[in-house]
Structures are given as structure tokens and as C-alpha cells.
Structure 1
Amino acid sequence: MTNPIDALLAEKGVLLADGATGTNLFAMGLEAGEAPELLNETAPDTITSLHQNFVDAGADIILTNSFGGTRHRLKLHHAQDRVYALNKRAAEIASAVAKKAGRKVIVAGSVGPTGELLVPLGAMTYDEAVEAFAEQIEGLKAGGVEGAGIGIGQADA
């Protein structure tokens, strides 16, 4: 099986990915302190428009609206029990836009940090972090992503 990114890169030579999702959502009305991931259910047209704007600008890869989609981030908005549903919906919205693009557009699941520090700097264990990311990615996979864009990290000093 061919990796979709490798296949498209071989065809085009250079790929363009979207970016500044949060910045764009603030310009579209998201308020400080709100969880962008909740918009997947409360304002799907806004998220569709965001993805469509990226595709119209030439993006070959669009990232789902799920950067803060782990249980630990969603807990801040009392949505920790909706991880699967919110991530699945994020992937479904992006996938629908990609399918209508008239060209190959890859959908990658956006995975950000949990917001918790790992042991020894914090209380979260490695296994808890893996479980949180796996839970999120299951929803993204169910919604149709072809890969993941991972923006996480922690270095021990």
C-alpha cells in the first residue's frame, strides 16, 4: 500500500499544507477561552468554510479541527466524554471538503498536546499519554483521516 503523502509528493514535487487554523477561527468569531473542537458540532458550517478556504488557496493537506481533542484538553470545557465523537466529526467535515475538491487533498488528523506534563515534570504517566492520544486517533480514523499531523512534545531538561 502506498502512503498517500508519498504518492501525491511524487506526483506534484511539493505539497502545501494548511496552517493557522486557530488564528483563522478567531477571525471567524471564535472567542478566547472557547474550544475550537466544539465547533465541529455547534458550527460545522464554519469549519467547512475554513477547510474550503484552505483548499481554495491550494492546500494539498488539510488538518482536522482537533488540535485540542484529547480528553485532558476537552475536560477544560466539560467535554471529556465526547473525545471520540468530536474527533470523528472533525475528520468527517474535513473529508467531505477534500472529496469535493476536484483533485487529491489529503486529510490529516491534527493532534496537539494534552496540556499535562509527563512524569517527572508532572503527574501524567507515559501510558496515560498514549491512552489519551489513542482515544483521540480512534475517532479521527473513524471519520476518515489518511494520516496525522502531530504537534506535541516535551523534553526533559
Structure 2
Amino acid sequence: MRQRLEKRAAVECLVADGGMGTQLQARGLVPGECPERWCLERPEQVRAVHAAYREAGSLIVETNTFGGSRYKLAHYGLSERVAEINRAGAALARDVAGDSQYVMASLGPTGLFMEPYGDETEANFYAAFAEQARAFEAGGADAVIVETMMAIEECCVAVRAVRETTGLTCLASFTFEPQPDGGFASMMGVTPEQFAQQALAAGAHIIGANCGTGPDAMVTVIRRLRAVSQVPLIAMPNAGMPTLENGETVFRETPQEMAGKVAALVAAGASIIGGCCGTTPAHIAAMARAVQAVRQTGK
């Protein structure tokens, strides 16, 4: 039986995987298509992405369910297939992970706001997140990462839904952006310290940051989270900051450049390291080697 993720991450630096969407695009996903639908209709391609990251050295495989809430799936007429899609996403990841990898189910934001900022109630959000969480558990997930969150209220409702309706490890990951004053905050103005306090109060076992920044800025964010928390931290930076080239968003940080930042992320306090936008199996392979070097040298 696998040791619970939060217990292992408390004593060892672990490698997560990288970007999913761009990998599916390379396999034929077209703009406007529902990535999560591939869990049902093109499962072999989703498995191939998981397998590529496994081969690259990731210990944690993240599911293809980022937009799997009933709110997001409604855009594609799939709101009544939430349980089926999320369960399938977890099961596909488990097929590849076997007993040697952790399956971390991806739960992304709804794209809507709760009252009083929007029309949705907390009860509706809770029900939607709980629906996903139960499906993840049924599909064989070990953990759920509530990720790319910007509104602390939504994040905390999702964390509570995971903790109160399943026995899974719960990670909470916010997206922070550089601010004019030199600090970091989410699009909704939430600072790393505010996020840490409230996500932990909601019950998160592991907290951290993903997207929004490259690894250099992520070091500062992780350091600030470590200053106010004792739980394991996860860092999943983009492959640098995006640039627009010929109408296409490009992330220019190379695998070697990303790997060069791993020691600094670990020193800042990260114990789970992976990648977000622009990262590939090549990035994760280089970062996994860097993590191994840190384990061997202790720095």
C-alpha cells in the first residue's frame, strides 16, 4: 500500500508531471474541443501522455480533468457526464501509474464567482466539487489538487468538499502574479500568506502554487508560503513567462534552464516539484534528474 502523499512529501522531495493540454494538442486536440472528453473518446492518447511523464521520472501523475466540473463541462453539453468523465480520468491515470506512482486528480476553477461577487451559491459550488471528488476516489485517485485558483472563497469550498466527502489527500494550489510593488497576489488580490492561512484552515494537507510565473518568481512565492506554514509545499511553475510569437503563445524556458532552478525551489521549501504551462516530458526529465541530485547532495 502506498504511503499517503502528504506523509511521503514531508520527508522526501517528489517529482510531479508537467503540462497536459499542450501534450494533447500535439496528439490532435483542436482549439475549442473539450480535453476532458478525451478521457472517454480517446483514452489511448491520454494514457500516452501519462506514460511519457512516467518515463520522464515523475512519481505523481495528474489526471486530465482540470475542466471537469459540471460548470465547465456544460459548455460542451456534458454536464450530466461529470461523474463518468472524472472517474474515467482517474482510472486512466491509475492504469498507467499502477502501484508505483501516485494519482493526483486535477480540479480546476469553475470560471464563475460565488455570492456576493457572482450569482452562484456556496452550496452549488460545494455540490459540484464534491461530485468530482467522489468520482476521483471511485476511479482510483490518491489525491486531489485544487489548482490554478485565484479566488480564496472558491478554493476553500473545493478543499472542504474534498476533505468532507472523500478520504483523499487534498492539495490546494493558487496562481500568483507579480505586482507593481514587487510582491505577489492572485488576480483577486489574494497574497501567498492569506492563501496559506485560509487553505490550511479549510483542511488542505499540502499547499503551493502553479502557473502564473516561471521558476524564478516561484522561488519567492514558495519562500513566502514556507514562512507561514509547516505542511509540504508543491511548486509547478510555467516554462518561463509566455511571449506572443506569430499569434501563438510560446514558453521559452528550456528543460535545462528549468532544471537549474530546482535546487532553489527545494531550498525555498518545495517538496513536490512539477511543471505547468509550456512544460513537457523533456522538462520533467531534466527536473527529475535535478531533484535526484538534490537528494544525493542534500543541497
Query: What's the CA shift string for 1:51-91, capped at 9, x where partnerless?
Result: 00010000111111101011000000000000000000001
Find the counterpart in structure 1 of residue 123 from structure 2. 127
Greater strand fraction, Structure 1 or Structure 2: 2
Is 1:142 aligned with 2:141?
Answer: no
Query: What's the CA shift string for 1:9-65, capped at 9, x where partnerless?
Result: 367x21111121112111221111111110001100000001000100001111111
Structure 2 distance, partners of 1:140, 1:2, is 17
Shift of 1:3: 5.2
Structure 2 distance, partners of 1:3, 1:128, is 33
Query: What's the CA shift string for 1:72-130, capped at 9, x where partnerless?
Result: 0000000000000000000110001001xxx7210011000112111122111111111
Q: How many residues are treated as equivalent by the alignment?
A: 153
Query: Which letter does structure 1 place at the counterpart of 2:122?
Result: Y
**Alignment of structure 1 residues 7-156 onto 2, 5 Å:** 7-9=7-9, 13-99=12-98, 104-151=100-147, 152-155=149-152
Runs of 4+ in 1 over 6 A off after TM superposition: none
With normalisation by structure 2, the TM-score equals: 0.48
Structure 2 distance, partners of 1:10, 1:137, is 23
Structure 1 distance, partners of 2:10, 2:57, is 17
Larger RCO, structure (CA 8 Å, separation 6 or more): 1
Shift of 1:144: 0.4
Percent identical: 34
**Are the aligned partners of 1:4 and 1:106 in contact in 2 as well (CA < 8 Å)?**
no
Consecutive unaligned residues of structure 1, counting only runs of 5 or more, are none
Structure with larger Rg? 2
Shift of 1:7: 4.5
Indicate the RMSD between aligned Cα atoms, in angstroms. 2.0
With normalisation by structure 1, the TM-score equals: 0.90
